Chain A
Amino acid sequence: MRNALTGVERAMFWTLAFAAFAAAAAGLAARGVDRVAASYEAARSNYAIVRVLAPEGPAGIAAAEVALAQAIQVTSAAPMTAGRAAALLGGEVRAEDLPALRLIEIELAAAPAHVDVSGDLVAALAQGGVTAEVIEAPDDSAGAGLASRVRNAAFWGAIGFALVMGIIVSLAARGLAARRREMVTVMCDLGATQGQAAGRIADEAAVMGLYAGVVGGVLAGIAGFIVLMLAIPGVSLDALAGMILPVDLTPIAAAPLGAAIAAGAGARAAASYFHAQAARLG
């Protein structure tokens, strides 16, 4: 930028920065939703209950625990106590009213979609002399597929919002080109081609968009950090830093690039139009 930003340019810079901030913040929010939905889906699909049919009583539970401990698909297994069952039922039933349970809660390791984990577990239990059935989260319940729909909605919502912000940046950059109309006219009179004149204005707008995008992206990052601190009470900075993956920072990194491209494109289009007007009077 030739001179320090003044007046209209400064207002324009902050318009671009705000748009970049909004787009980056939406991207970070979408990423947060994505991670929550992914962890929900993982927790849901990695959980199952083993119902021991035979042998009956504590012997059956103990034999099943031994068999499950040896199964590679299982990461943890714990017999369901009456208290735990009452808690899961939401307090509708008191623990002392429940009969002796023959249920074991298990957590499963991630497995490819084509693997029949339940069938493998039933076979492993049978080898240990236990007849049991494995109850996984049903596909037709309210939660089935919800996570992927939420993730899709968050992703495409953020993309759509970023595109709208890109249009706003592009229109604001057209304002910058309008401010440089006299320069385009002078350049045209001096024999600059449309590409030269528009390129110069587009470069200026792109640089402004880049800086504004950096400011907007950093502000969005700071805002996201504060939101996380508030949303997870007692979390330490180290723990928070450990939670953040490089891919989570994509919206912040994309903000300057997107703002520069949108601003450059908007300014180029406007400057080309002004050049065409200046080049032909008749």
Chain B
Amino acid sequence: MVRVNTPEQDLFERGILARLSGVDAGYKTATVLFGIDFEARAGEVALITGPAAAGKTTFMHLLRLALQPRSGRCVILGTDVGRASARARANVKKRIGYVAENPTFIENWTAFDNIAMPLRLAGQKPRDDSDDVRELVEFVGLTDAADLTVEKLSGAERHRAAIARALAAKPALILADDPTAGMSPADGRRIVRLLAEMRRVGAGVVIASQDESLADSAPLNHWRMERGRLSPISQAATEEAEAFE
């Protein structure tokens, strides 16, 4: 029997990881995002900049399925999240790597164990994934701190651990909310380049930050969020990809 793809699955197969059309979202009685139109593609990096309280974090919550759209259409990784079941949403979440502005960890576990958690959730045994996790730890530059409990890590190390954890399950879509907060400009640019590297393995990356200068860190699509409205500034990543094609 031939299996027919839904339009949402077709989008995903065409490399469109997230497509938001006219989406409003918010908390309880407050609407924070208005008429959001956005697209994230595989192999591209999108940078969302804007002032504090512009709605960047709410937008990231929307992309990571912690918020339901109030209106409009929100298709993420081939699933219309406004109509999906709890299980379908959980399955989508498993394919999203999320780096929160203030990452939550199991504080009395080591950084290594925290980073390995997505793999354990996927059912991998510790002996099967330890090499992959070591590689990730080296990739984010956390080798010396990997065996420390997370409560002993500095702010920058916590962010690196959060990035490593977000990458552990080889997600299709990586979301990073202000990943450079509290870092030196050099460290911040390094983190963004690190995240941008993931486009090379076909992942889509969405970064939210107040720092406009990050737009020069890598070829990326730059969007600006202001008072809950999102507008494109440059589409360098898409243009580069189209030129390559």
Binding site for B on A (CB under 8 A): 3, 182-183, 185-187, 189-194, 196, 278-282
User: What is the minimal beta-carbon distance from B177 to any residue of chain A, in angstroms?
Assistant: 12
Q: Which of B86, B98, B100, B105 contacts A193 (CB 8 A)?
A: B86
Q: Which residue of A lies closest to B25 (CB)?
A: A282
Q: Which residues from chain A contact B67 at a C-beta distance below 8 Å?
A: 280-282
Q: Which residue of A lies closest to B70 (CB)?
A: A282
B94 touches A189 (CB 8 A): no
B121 touches A196 (CB 8 A): yes
A182-B106 contact, Cβ under 8 Å, with A191-B95, A193-B86:
yes
Residues in B213-232 with C-beta less than 8 Å from chain A: none
A190 touches B117 (CB 8 A): yes
A190-B121 contact, Cβ under 8 Å, with A185-B104, A282-B28:
yes
Query: How far apart are the CA atoms of A281 and B177 in the complex, in Å?
Result: 16
User: What is the minimal beta-carbon distance from B101 to any residue of chain A, in angstroms?
Assistant: 13
Q: Which of A182, A189, A282 contacts B100 (CB 8 A)?
A: A189
A186-B108 contact, Cβ under 8 Å, with A191-B94, A280-B66, A281-B27:
no
State whether the Cβ of B87 lies closer than 8 Å to any Cβ in chain A.
yes
Query: How far apart are the CA atoms of A192 and B64 in the complex, in Å?
Result: 13
A192-B66 contact, Cβ under 8 Å, with A186-B105, A282-B25, A282-B28:
no
Interface on chain B toward A: helix, strand, loop, or mixed SS? mixed
Query: How far apart are the CA atoms of A187 and B100 in the complex, in Å?
Result: 14
Interface on chain A toward B: helix, strand, loop, or mixed SS? helix
14 more CB-based (< 8 A) A-B contacts, given A190-B117, A190-B118, A282-B28: A185-B104, A186-B105, A186-B114, A187-B117, A189-B66, A190-B169, A191-B94, A191-B95, A191-B121, A192-B90, A193-B87, A281-B27, A282-B25, A282-B66
State whether the Cβ of B13 lies closer than 8 Å to any Cβ in chain A.
no
Q: Which of B89, B94, B104, B118 contacts A182 (CB 8 A)?
A: B104
Query: How far apart are the CA atoms of A103 and B104 in the complex, in Å?
Result: 87
Q: Which residue of B lies closest to A192 (CB)?
A: B121
Query: How far apart are the CA atoms of A100 and B33 in the complex, in Å?
Result: 107
B93 touches A190 (CB 8 A): yes
Query: How far apart are the CA atoms of A190 and B114 in the complex, in Å?
Result: 11
Residues in B19-76 with C-beta less than 8 Å from chain A: 25-28, 61, 64, 66-68
Q: Which residues from chain A contact B106 at a C-beta distance below 8 Å?
A: 182-183, 186
Which 8 residue pairs spanning A and B have beta carbons closest together?
Answer: A191-B94, A191-B93, A193-B90, A282-B67, A281-B66, A190-B118, A183-B106, A282-B27
Q: Which of B25, B27, B121 contacts A187 (CB 8 A)?
A: B121
User: What is the minimal beta-carbon distance from B138 to any residue of chain A, in angstroms?
Assistant: 22
Q: Which residues from chain B contact A279 at a C-beta distance below 8 Å?
A: 66, 86, 89
Q: Which residues from chain B contact A194 at a C-beta distance below 8 Å?
A: 86
State whether the Cβ of B107 lies closer than 8 Å to any Cβ in chain A.
yes
A282 touches B26 (CB 8 A): yes
B104 touches A281 (CB 8 A): no
Q: Which residue of A lies closest to B119 (CB)?
A: A190
User: What is the minimal beta-carbon distance from A8 to any residue of chain B, in angstroms?
Assistant: 12
Against A, the Cβ 8 Å flags (1 = close, 0 = not) of B75-110 are 000000000001101111111101010001111100
Q: Which residues from chain B contact A187 at a C-beta distance below 8 Å?
A: 117, 121
Q: Which residue of A lies closest to B68 (CB)?
A: A282
